[in-house]
Amino acid sequence: VFPAGPLREPLLPQLARASALVIIGDGPRGEAVAEAAATADVEVLTARMRARADAPDLSGRAVVAFCGIARPEKFYASLEAAGATIKARCAFGDHHPYSARDVARILDLAAGNDGALPITTEKDLVRLNETNDPGAGLRGKLQTLPIQVVFNEPERLDALLGAAMRAKL
């Protein structure tokens, strides 16, 4: 069941139906979930997020970072890991519906920071459109940081998927 969060079904009923659980990143929350999964005899896979190989080169690049995701600090950390210098941060609530006013604010931040590159997540890019960004004033200037999930033990994932596919045949 994807993903975990406060508006999702509680963990224990999900574990009753799960054959595996994927924990992305480190931390105490993931450790607690892994312990619950082990108690329920559910396989635990671990993974991390990283910039894709086709991500723009951000080494030394001044950026204005904006996003509407649950944990914006993860996005900012990814940008810094890619070498970007974050001149301004603009965090909105998760699944934020951008307005024309939001877009103007982001453009002003970029202009006020010596034309720093506006950058966001791919998830946020799809929420920018002709209504909130008429004439593509922001969309025409911004970059995204494409990310991917990298499994720490991909062979375990392959084995689980293979077993599930064989069971369906």
Report domain extents, the chain: 11-50+149-168, 55-145
| Per-state percent for the chain, helix, strand, coil, to nearest 5 | 40, 20, 40
111-157 pLDDT per residue, tens: 999 999 999 999 999 999 999 999 999 999 999 999 999 999 999 99
pLDDT at site 26: 84
CATH ID of 55-145, from 3.40.50, 3.30.160, 3.30.450, 3.30.40: 3.40.50
Q: Is 70 helix (H, G, I), strand (E, B) or coil?
A: coil
Q: Is 20 helix (H, G, I), strand (E, B) or coil?
A: strand
Burial class (CB within 10 angstroms; exposed 0-12, middle 13-18, buried 19+) of 124: buried
What pTM does this model have? 0.81
pLDDT at site 27: 82
Mean pLDDT for the stretch of residues 87-101? 96
Whether residue 3 is predicted with pLDDT greater than 90 in this model: the reply is no
Q: What is the mean pLDDT of the chain?
A: 92
